[in-house]
Structure 1
Amino acid sequence: MPSSLLPNLQKYLRDRPSSDRRMSRATAPEEQRGFDQVIKPSNKIPKAELLESEMKAHDVGQCAIADNQFSHFLDGIQRSWLLYHHRYVPVYYGYVAGVIRERKQAVMSTSSHQVKEALYLPFRYFDPDEREKLKSTNLDIIDTEAIDEGDSLSQDQADEDPQATMQPMLLRGVAVEAVTNQRANLEKELTKEWLRNKAKHPGWLVMDGSIKISKNAIAEPRAVGIIKSHNTQFFNLEDQATIFELKAGQRSSTFNPYPDNPKQSLCSWYLRLREANNEDMYFGLVRVEVSLKHQNRVNEISQWIMTERRPLSLPDSRWDRMIYPIRDCEQYLRSKEPSKASFGWLG
């Protein structure tokens, strides 16, 4: 999908040359360069509450493909391109998109699709005159509100002397995080849209990731989240060992990952989609989230997920944990995003 923002920005930069700019010559968005993949280690294990008597493996059984009630699938993408630095302050192009794909009689189609593109820069540190000129061209600009809360300077000191706390690499991380938040907001809007029209949808909505991005989804009986990453561990090593030893077609005991926050309380469990013999211990392992109302249906829902293992989501590197309809969503979104050619003018 051609960008409407990038050509206007290119014209602006061409018509208003400045020695204060340094083009980045980025060849790919940060998401493909690994800049957003740094995992921050934590010694804290979130306090999860078991909903079953003890942590153990449960066989989920099997069901016919026709019994699977999943009909809609939601996923989103983000692209964070570092365009240039203006007086050492990074300026990013952020592209976020989300889609809900509907499956009818094994055929996928687009139910809803949203896109938002904008420039991301920290107003606090950015040249105010240059910012006003950018605004005058009707470019959508988002303030990343960049301020390092762990800095020794107070907020007031930073206001008095912004340059004293200006760290280009920190501001890059804040910009990527701002794009991530924008993507989450867009996915939340898509979820709300589906829930508003849920009477028209007899099936279930499958979300790629946690359902807690939307308070309405947490309470929705027909929403399920499938989480492929395992950056957060909820149990001690003994209970984790039980999870790591799950066989294909087995689930862990159910638990509430957020018992201290009633607004985010839900039912979750781990499910092994594929055997992990001679593979990483997380191979084929996903975590599932549904409303607390479905504590008695976890085996049934797990059976539906198990039917989604075919077709394989190859050649995606996460194929062992990705159900194919989510792969279909990602392929659709990637086909619409700006191509690398859109950034060729960066040099």
Structure 2
Amino acid sequence: MTDTPDYPALQTIGWPWPGPPATADQADWQAAMATHPLARPARVIEQHRTHYVVADGPDASIKAESLPEWQRPRFPSHERPAVGDWVLLEGVRIVALLPRRTSIKRGAAGEHYHQQVIAANVDTVFIVCGLDADFNPRRIERYLLLVGGGGAEPVVVLTKADQTEYTEDALAVLEELKAQGIALRAVNGLDPASVATLHPWLGAGHTVVLVGSSGAGKSTLTNTLLGEQRMKTNTVRSNDSRGRHTTTHRALMPLPMGACLIDTPGMRELKPTGEETLAEGGFADIEALAAQCRFRNCLHQQEPGCAVRAAIEEGEIEETRVLNYFKLKEEVAAAAAKLAVRQAETAQERRTAARRGAGKAPRRR
């Protein structure tokens, strides 16, 4: 890595501008870089428990030291760098995290409220689902909810199209998503010609992240896009088409066509953070129908003048999808309540720390 930023090289791994940030809408990046004038930007390409691997070009990487406060147990995990983040380096030490343009987050597993960043600064999210026993429209909707508020474009990628004769049926099941402008693509992940249908989202400088369950075909798709067998793949169980985690950590890789790809381990739990908007998460049509109900507090059950029930009865919308909408709406509301409590606790902790700091007597010289 060099001491002077090589912006053309940075662009090959997703730097969004031909040079340093210079316009008004880039003011937050300008301010961060001005605070550390001796630092250079680099991108996080691997995230491990004890360290990060960062790069400032397609063929340059280094094991980087993180800020000490990021290692504290109570430090919010979503405020630490994630794969795809841009950071500032002095030597091999990370000194700052640059503001995120987009992010994909989920509620972390466990009773206590935490957010986990899956990937940052991505342009497109490929939601990968196999056309075998892995096919689950409700899980796809859950992924769309998590992606919707993060600023990236979702694309539903149905893999293993060569292993079934029901591809068109599966696409028909997801027709309500397509009607909202969400792109759907069915591919044979082993066939470069079939995978070429994804190339419109893989232009130079763009960043794409793959998300999906274990066994969905993410690693196979990654190998085909890379043009080499770099990622380990495993067979899946015949009874449920699930596989073991072949990807063990998130990693960013430049692709031959100029884009950057982030592969991720399969995720079993997809909890909302409380910041999601259902209209942006694939349910804009249901939200629009709900606004047309006769009563503002309509529960969409047996109330007269319910536009949602009428659409179900007329076959305009699938009832199982509406039920999933209600379920996710409740989960988002519950997560939002936990988020509000956590934010209040964090604000109080910072006020207490500030008072303690202000109360310290200055040292005698």
Please confirm whether the aligned pair reaches a TM-score higher than 0.5, indicating the same fold.
Answer: no
What's the TM-score once normalised by structure 1's chain length?
0.25
TM-score for the superposition, normalised by structure 2: 0.25
Looking at secondary structure, tell me which structure has more strand per residue.
1
With a CA cutoff of 8 Å and minimum separation of 6, indicate the structure with the bigger relative contact order: 1
